[in-house]
A and B are shown apart, each in its own frame.
Chain A
Amino acid sequence: MKIAYYPGCSLHASSAFYDVQTQMVAKRLGVELVELEDWNCCGATSACKTDNFLSIALPARNIGIADASGLDELVIPCSSCYSRTLVSQKVLADNSDLRDTINSELTKKVSGRIRVLSIIELILKQLNSKDFSEKLKYKLEGFKPACYYGCLLTRFPYDIKIEDNVENPQGMDIICKKLGAEPVDWNYKTDCCGASATVNDADVALRLMSKIMKDAIARGANCIVATCPLCQFNLDAYQDMVGEKYGIQRRLPVYFITEFIGLALGISDKDLQIDRHLIDASGLLKEIKQV
């Protein structure tokens, strides 16, 4: 099965190992990811904050490329890119004037045929197939993750319907259970990590992350698992700072969901580049058992 793939800028820079993992995991699951040709930055939240037109037009160029690819689905692992692309698609479906204006500037026009998937949706589709269970070589026993969805997987600034529960999503929890991990029930699943505020408004971001960390620890989690490169980066790179400022002693490794699946599929931690975490993520790996 072929699916179009939009990595986005983070996966080609500070979270390059997430790109590597996504590609490896997809391949093992029998999915061929076809990277969008000559894709561009979606503009992320910064475009919304500075320019309404660009916030729709930048993702629109990628949507046009995807629409012209002949493929039916487009997977976007970064939550921000995922959200901005869905929003652009929705706005252009509702506003034909704007669609015409943008299309007149594009070589590959937006037609609205591509279906956008998050990485969770992509994995869930594979999960139910019979041979998925056969491919699982290891059990993530001893992993008690706090599944962290963040803001942008379930909440949108437009009327966009998703299949998961908005305030208490389950997709990642379902995947974790299937892999033998025991996700904890907690309150900060969809709270904000502060996003770019870690850089430009640190007081806000550190406080928001302190609440996430405290609840995850209080609920008995021994790690966090995320899908968004910015959420992962923030909780990983700033966790020491948060801990120092808010008196939190424990540190939790912050995994990508692709690391969980990769490990369960038998991909080595070296190939998955799990050594790129700032908070050591190797300790828990000893718990993994063969199926």
Chain B
Amino acid sequence: MSSATVKFQPEYSQPILQEIMEKSGQNLLSCYQCRRCAAGCPVSDEAGVTPDRLIRMIVFGQKDEALNNLLVWRCVACYTCGERCPNNIQTAKITETLKQMSKKAHLEALSPKIASFHEAFIKSAIDNGRLSEMDLMMTYGKKNAQHELKKGGGWKAVIAELKGQAKLGLALYKKKRVHLGSEKVKNLSEIKKLSKKAEELK
């Protein structure tokens, strides 16, 4: 995918730019397009968009493009771009912000598997106070299957995915690396309080 042509739409640019700058804590206006970030981004091949492009889209007010590109989802939060940026811009904080904004706007995630994974992870972490790997894989698997069926992949796609997981699961089981139980934090009410606060602040 080649990155879309960037159009300047001043009447749209300010609100979205400001929102993302505030939420991500990054000063996007200091980007001078040197592309050091692009040179180091390990997912640029698969994402088709590099950090500098994403920043430009936002600065130019291209809200839809900014929310709907694969860098938002495929960013692995390796922090290479931010480490090398002469202006300390952490694109991982921008992609995090865009993921949250897209969820809030009820947009369909461009990579539903990635979205489901992180939601399942945080659910398990909050439910028990500690992550249960089993819980995570079950919730994630279920969400995935639902999505696969909805988009018309059919049971075949679901079963193929499950087969792959089962094969690895078995190998892990043999090496005693599968943990079936789950641990719970004793003071779980404190975790619930934090999660309630998080909802209030959203």
List residues of chain A with CB under 8 Å of any chain B CB.
9, 12-16, 38-41, 43-54, 57-58, 61, 101-102, 105-107, 151-152, 155-157, 159, 166-167, 191-192, 194-197, 199-201, 203-204, 207-208, 233, 237, 273, 275-278
Query: Nearest residue in B to A195 (C-beta to C-beta)?
Result: B76
Is A47 within 8 A of B122, CB to CB?
yes
0/1 per residue, B142-181, Cβ < 8 Å to A? 0000000000000000000000000010011001111100
Please tell me which stretch of B13-21, B52-60, B91-99 contacts chain A, meaning at least 4 of its Cβ atoms lie within 8 angstroms of it: B91-99
Asked whether any CB of chain A lies closer than 8 Å to the CB of B88, the reply is yes
Query: Nearest residue in A to B192 (C-beta to C-beta)?
Result: A105
Give bound CA distance, A222 to B88, whole Å: 37
Q: Residues of A contacting B62 with CB < 8 Å?
A: none
Most buried by B among A44, A51, A156, A277: A51
Is A237 within 8 A of B190, CB to CB?
no
Q: Residues of B contacting A199 with CB < 8 Å?
A: 117, 137, 140
What is the CB-to-nearest-CB distance from A205 to chain B, in angstroms, rounded to a whole number? 8
0/1 per residue, B168-202, Cβ < 8 Å to A? 10011001111100010111001101110110011
**Number of contacts between A and B (CB, 8 Å)?**
172
Is B198 within 8 A of A155, CB to CB?
no
Is B76 within 8 A of A192, CB to CB?
yes
Is B83 within 8 A of A278, CB to CB?
no
Give bound CA distance, A151 to B78, whole Å: 5
Give bound CA distance, A276 to B99, whole Å: 36
What is the CB-to-nearest-CB distance from B201 to chain A, in angstroms, rounded to a whole number? 5
Q: Residues of A contacting B132 with CB < 8 Å?
A: 13
Q: Residues of B contacting A201 with CB < 8 Å?
A: 46, 73-74, 111, 113-114
Query: Nearest residue in A to B165 (C-beta to C-beta)?
Result: A199
Please tell me which stretch of B2-10, B27-35, B123-131 contacts chain A, meaning at least 4 of its Cβ atoms lie within 8 angstroms of it: B123-131
Give bound CA distance, A195 to B76, whole Å: 7
Per the 8 Å Cβ criterion, residues 58-109 of B in contact with A are 73-74, 76-80, 82-83, 88, 90, 92-93, 96, 99-100, 103
Q: Residues of B contacting A233 with CB < 8 Å?
A: 177
Is A156 within 8 A of B79, CB to CB?
yes
Q: Residues of A contacting B126 with CB < 8 Å?
A: 54
Give bound CA distance, A47 to B195, whole Å: 11
Out of A43, A49, A54, A191, which one reaches B99, CB within 8 Å?
A49
What is the CB-to-nearest-CB distance from A35 to chain B, in angstroms, rounded to a whole number? 12
Q: Residues of B contacting A50 with CB < 8 Å?
A: 99-100, 103, 118-119, 122
Out of A9, A192, A276, which one reaches B42, CB within 8 Å?
A192
Give 3 nearest A-B pairs by CB, closest first.
A46-B121, A13-B179, A155-B79
What is the CB-to-nearest-CB distance from B94 to chain A, in angstroms, rounded to a whole number? 11
Query: Nearest residue in B to A38 (C-beta to C-beta)?
Result: B186
Is B190 within 8 A of A107, CB to CB?
yes
Is A57 within 8 A of B198, CB to CB?
yes
Is A155 within 8 A of B129, CB to CB?
no
Given contacts A40-B185, A53-B197, 12 further A-B contacts (CB under 8 A): A9-B133, A13-B131, A38-B186, A40-B191, A44-B131, A50-B100, A54-B195, A57-B198, A155-B79, A192-B80, A197-B76, A201-B46
Q: Residues of A contacting B79 with CB < 8 Å?
A: 151-152, 155-157
What is the CB-to-nearest-CB distance from B97 to chain A, in angstroms, rounded to a whole number? 8
Out of B93, B111, B125, which one reaches A58, CB within 8 Å?
B125
Is B76 within 8 A of A54, CB to CB?
no
Q: Residues of A contacting B175 with CB < 8 Å?
A: 275-278
Query: Nearest residue in B to A200 (C-beta to C-beta)?
Result: B117
Is B117 within 8 A of A43, CB to CB?
no
Check A159/B88 contact, CB under 8 A, given A40-B130, A46-B117, A203-B46: yes
Is B197 within 8 A of A14, CB to CB?
no
